[in-house]
Amino acid sequence: DSGVTQTPKHLITATGQRVTLRCSPRSGDLSVYWYQQSLDQGLQFLIQYYNGEERAKGNILERFSAQQFPDLHSELNLSSLELGDSALYFCASSQAGEYEQYFGPGTRLTVT
């Protein structure tokens, strides 16, 4: 158990819909990262937040957005969903100044 929690574990929704994925980092970790894992693209970095502020952006679509709240949990919002958005979405957290990241169990999103 990494100490990072993600909900829900599974999500099935239809094209065009909007969903919210939630992540709680390890106690004391200020950085939260979101990654997408798909068969064709592999593991891709989406976005990072540090202590409530956006710090880095990767291959995140404009239809996707995220935020980190004062209690340090984070939410990833995916809108106007397409079939190709079906993937595993992982959240990871790390301490300030540390390189290693600890991953949650992931949310499997299926868009039908």
Partner 1 sequence: GDSVTQMEGPVTLSEEAFLTINCTYTATGYPSLFWYVQYPGEGLQLLLKATKADDKGSNKGFEATYRKETTSFHLEKGSVQVSDSAVYFCALSDYGGSQGNLIFGKGTKLSVKP
Closest approach of partner 1 to the CB of residue 16, in Å:
28
Closest approach of partner 1 to the CB of residue 30, in Å:
7
Give the span between the Cα atoms of 27 and 37, in whole angstroms: 25
Closest to partner 1 by CB, 62 or 100: 100
Is residue 23 within 8 A of residue 74, CB to CB? The reply is yes
Neighbours of 38 (CB within 10 A): 14
DSSP letter (8 states) at residue 25: P
Among 13, 20, 55, 61, binds partner 1 (CB under 8 A): 55
Give the span between the Cα atoms of 10 and 76, in whole angstroms: 14
Q: Which of residues 1-20 bind partner 1 (CB under 8 A)?
A: 2, 4
Asked whether position 31 contacts partner 1 by CB under 8 A, the answer is yes
Asked whether position 74 contacts partner 1 by CB under 8 A, the answer is no
Is residue 84 within 8 A of residue 68, CB to CB? The reply is no
Residues at the site binding partner 1, with contacts judged by CB under 8 A: 2, 4, 30-31, 33, 35, 42-43, 45, 48, 50, 55-56, 58, 90, 92, 94, 96-97, 99-106
